[in-house]
């Protein structure tokens, strides 16, 4: 892969392609090494996959400059949260263990179509073989990065279920209702079917 592939990604995805350079331009606290920058250039997805992202309303976002947990992302983007520490997440294992990695992340900008009023199992059945449910750190990283770079709030009126559970099984973490007041993180029982709890999806890299 080369810079030509990165230029191709800009053409195909437009504002939905966010590079490490875009991220560093929006936040001086984030610095990628030359090696990391080269790795991102070399791993831009194929034209076919970029087209799939465009057609399915996915964004392609560079992950953080080091693996970040939800707590780390929240501390970095504290202006988007009511509290950067001290709430229920601080005592949850997933908030430290599940991370956004230093790689491209392909995340759907909207909930999975048709995932409203369905429980966890029913929502999972809607994913294609090429898709997975992302963890909260990945979702929050992408939402916060999109806002920092593009100035746009995504998921302003809905929650999406993520892959992580709280310390109690069968309660998946939900993320959403992102607006000027807050980016909310909560949880819900897997069997619940709510009108505002949809499902998040990410594209597998391979």
* Alpha helices per DSSP H over 14-116: 20-26, 34-42, 47-55, 70-76, 94-97
Reported as a single tens digit per residue, the pLDDT across 127-158 is: 999 999 999 999 999 999 999 999 999 999 99
> Is the confidence at residue 84, as pLDDT, over 80?
no
Q: How confident is the model at residue 69 (pLDDT cuts 50, 70, 90)?
A: very high
| Backbone phi and psi for residue 172, each to the nearest 5 degrees, phi listed first | -85, 145
Find out whether 87 and 70 touch, Cβ atoms under 8 Å.
no
Average pLDDT, stretch 6-32?
Answer: 96
The per-residue pLDDT for 5 is: 82
Q: Is the pTM of this model over 0.75?
A: yes
Strand-pairing partners, residue 171, are 189
Strand, coil or helix: 192? coil
Which tokens sit at 49? 């996959």
Q: What range defines the domain where residue 9 resides?
A: 3-203
The count of structural domains within the chain is 1
User: Which CA distances in Å does 10 have to 5, 15, 82?
Assistant: 9, 8, 33
The per-residue pLDDT for 1 is: 44
**Short-list 174, 182, 171, 172, CA closest to 84:** 182
Strand, coil or helix: 151? coil
């Amino acid at each position: 892969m080369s810079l030509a592939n990165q230029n191709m990604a800009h053409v195909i995805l437009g504002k939905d392609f966010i590079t490490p350079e875009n991220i560093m331009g929006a936040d001086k606290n984030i610095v990628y090494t030359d090696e990391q920058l080269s790795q991102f250039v070399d791993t831009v997805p194929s034209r076919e996959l970029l087209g799939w992202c465009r057609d399915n309303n996915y964004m392609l976002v560079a992950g953080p400059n080091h693996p970040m947990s939800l707590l780390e992302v929240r501390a970095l983007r504290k202006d988007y949260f009511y509290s950067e520490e001290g709430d229920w997440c601080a005592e949850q294992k997933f908030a430290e263990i599940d991370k956004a990695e230093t790689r491209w992340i392909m995340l759907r900008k909207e909930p999975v179509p048709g995932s409203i009023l369905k429980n966890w199992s029913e929502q999972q059945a809607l994913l294609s073989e090429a898709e997975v449910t992302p963890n909260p750190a990945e979702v929050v990283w992408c939402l916060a990065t999109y806002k920092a770079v593009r100035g746009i709030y995504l998921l302003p009126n809905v929650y999406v279920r993520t892959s992580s559970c709280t310390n109690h099984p069968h309660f998946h973490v939900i993320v959403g209702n992102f607006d000027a007041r807050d980016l909310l993180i909560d949880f819900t029982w897997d069997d619940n079917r709510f009108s505002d709890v949809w499902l998040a999806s990410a594209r597998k890299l391979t």
